[in-house]
Amino acid sequence: MILKVLLVIGVIAVVYFMFIKEKPSKVTKTSTKKKDNLKANDMVECATCGVYSELQESILSNAKYYCSKECVDKAS
């Protein structure tokens, strides 16, 4: 009787780990370099005030994006 219960639990565990449980995603170099994959119309957050603006309208200073010259001056 105990052997049958252990066998059922083992089968359920195998099915769970093979089909149901999500596998952890591997971190790749492309996912860590998110800023390198930006396009001109992507939205980026201002490092000073938190406002989102388009990438082509943003100002890049010290590897951070800013929405205006005033925010760049505040950060300095």
Give per-10-residue mean pLDDT for the chain (76 aa): 94 88 63 59 89 89 90 88
Residue 42 pLDDT: 85
Domain boundaries along the sequence of the chain:
2-75
Distance CA 57, CA 52 (A): 10
Q: For residues 64 and 45, is the Cβ–Cβ distance under 8 A?
A: no
